[in-house]
Amino acid sequence: MKRLDFIRLSGYSVTSLFLVGTSTFLNACRKMGMGNMMMGQLVLVTEGSFSEVLTMPDIVGNTSSLTAQKASCKIAGIGNVNGLGYQAQKLLGPTIKINSGETVNINFDNQLDDSTNIHWHGLKIPSNMDGHPDNKIQSGNSFKYNYTVDQRAGLYFYHPHAMGTTAKQVFQGLAGFFIVNDVEEQALNLPSGSKELLCVIQDKRIEGGNIVYSPSMTDQMTGLMGQFVLVNGSYSPVQMVETSKYRIRILNGSNARIYNIALSDSSSFSVIGNDGGLLSSPESVNQVLLAPGERLDLIIDFSNLSLNDEVYLISREFSGGDSQGKQKFRIMKFKADMVVTDKFKLPALLSTIPPLTESMSTKTRFFDISNKDANMSHSRMIHTINSKEYSSSRIDETVKNSTIETWVFDNSKGLEPHPMHLHGATFQILSRTGGRGNLMPWEKGWKDVALCMPGETVKVIVQFGKFNGMYVFHCHNLEHEDSGMMAQYEIQ
Ligand code: C2O
Ligand code: CU
Ligand code: CU
């Protein structure tokens, strides 16, 4: 039964259902045998004035320190806001920029009231450095992260991952970019300097000068969404551009919100990379569905703009689930402030991606992520993988190091989108059946998040890392993750 049918049947309007209260509502759902029926509470985005200039995070190298702390900052268009940061007076953290092969030394201090840790999303590093949910750094304590990055150029990122506090701490401001460069990418001479932009897109719920994290039962079902969309911590910013090609690298750092990234003039742009670095060749598209945790490396050509022309990065409407994609909104503005002649030509060949095929795979594993039997237990929401809620005392899968396996995420009967992510591994997406029914052009190459929309079954082929130890995989909707949609696997 679909939501609308239910509303019709019940004779309630959507608003009155919310007035009735979530628990009454959930009881009603259960009586009607609709375990996890999604009651999408739409959190509408409120656009700002697009007048604050976009800023880039500071850049640090392989040896640095990070301090998780309370951060009060001023967000133009919103006011003074209390949140969290890895630096004083600012949300987010600096961008860590290294060359492939380098060893990273980060002195990390936890000055939060809660325990936390850091997960290096997309990096294949030893398990004791990976920010496993059990490796908590208590309030007031510190930890030295020390590991070597032995992988290709790409846009990775870091964020907290301690059991039970991940979603809250990310939402309140803890995250940062982690860029790996290598000689292959260097040789392409992609737009750089002021023509390379990093953009982390995040929606925030801000009330009374605080980034408020107190998800209702409905928020826990759908994932928490906010009314303000920030880019690098700025609300509805503007970026001045020359009439030339820009490299724009985007991270969806939101807890739950999916964006259907496009340009307001509907022009097409080139995807040159995603989660795990460059694609083999550019893909021309005019929209990209980007889920939490996913990254995009784009070349956007502003050469058809005239002086003072404006174009917006927007999120278009899309279908899939009841709580997302129902609204079109603008995220940031580009404004041409200088007319130039652009000499950059995008190479037709960017990289070589050795395709993984099922014949290389030593095992196939199936994961039911439909959450058909999700329910309320002890008055909280639970999400599951294979009907199991996360438990750190259970090892769900055991994998041989450095091997290749086929993993299938089955959301065919699900009603919610689930962006599935693995630690300690990277993968290629082999196929999608149901729903959109296809592998999307921006999903080629190396990935570490695979978006499974309602109705979809997504098959990925995974290259596991070489370090033995305990890792996790989970839905990157952080409310789903925190409410149990995570599992533990051991590489041995
Ligand atoms: Cu960015 Cu375990 O995730
Ligand atoms: Cu990760
Ligand atoms: Cu999910």
Of all ligands present, the nearest one to the C-alpha of 383 is 3
Distance 474 CA to ligand 2 centre (A): 9
Residue of 166, 126, 96, 121 whose CA lies nearest to 485: 166
Could you give the CA distance from residue 250 to residue 298 in angstroms, rounded to a whole number? 8
Report CA 121 to chain centroid distance, whole Å: 10
pLDDT tens digits, one per residue of 188-238:
999 999 999 999 999 999 999 999 999 998 899 999 999 999 999 999 999
What pLDDT score was predicted for residue 460? 98
Residues present in the chain in total:
492
The DSSP element (H or E) to which 470 belongs, if any, is strand 469-475
What residue ranges line ligand 1, CB within 6 angstroms? 119, 121, 159, 161, 293, 421, 423, 474, 476
Distance 220 CA to ligand 3 centre (A): 10
Report how far apart, in Å, the C-alpha atoms of 471 and of each of 186, 400, 488, 491 are.
32, 13, 6, 7
| CA angle 117–249–261, rounded 5-degree value | 105
Residue of 416, 230, 451, 415 whose CA lies nearest to 329: 230
Q: Where are any strands of DSSP class E within 162-276?
A: 176-181, 196-204, 206-207, 210-211, 228-231, 234-235, 237-242, 245-252, 259-263, 269-274
Residue of 331, 296, 121, 80 whose CA lies nearest to 207: 80
Q: What is the pTM of this model?
A: 0.92
Distance 166 CA to ligand 1 centre (A): 9
**One pLDDT digit (tens) per residue for the chain, 492 residues:** 333 333 333 323 333 333 333 343 443 343 333 433 444 578 999 999 999 999 999 999 999 999 999 999 999 999 999 999 999 899 999 999 999 999 999 999 999 999 999 999 999 999 999 999 999 999 999 999 999 999 999 999 999 999 999 999 999 999 999 999 999 999 999 999 999 999 999 999 999 999 999 999 889 999 999 999 999 999 999 999 999 999 999 999 999 999 999 999 999 999 999 999 999 999 999 999 999 999 999 999 999 999 999 999 999 999 988 899 999 999 999 999 999 999 999 999 999 999 999 999 999 999 999 998 655 555 678 999 999 999 999 999 999 999 999 999 999 999 999 999 999 999 999 999 999 999 999 999 999 999 999 999 999 999 999 999 999 999 999 999 999 999 999 999
Distance 402 CA to ligand 3 centre (A): 27
- Structural contact between residues 359 and 460, judged by C-beta atoms closer than 8 angstroms: no
Q: Which residue's CA is the nearest one to ligand 1's atom 3?
A: 121
Joined together, the tokens standing for residue 352 give 């070589």
CA R_g for the chain: 22
Q: Which atom of ligand 1 is the closest one to the Cα of 121?
A: 1
Helices vs strands, H then E, count in the chain: 7, 35
Q: Which residue's CA is the nearest one to ligand 1's atom 1?
A: 121
Residue of 300, 239, 243, 309 whose CA lies nearest to 267: 300
Distance 218 CA to ligand 1 centre (A): 23
What pLDDT score was predicted for residue 322? 86
Q: Residues with Cβ within 5 Å of ion ligand 3?
A: 418, 475, 477, 480
Beta strands 210-211 and 176-181 are unpaired
What pLDDT score was predicted for residue 422? 98
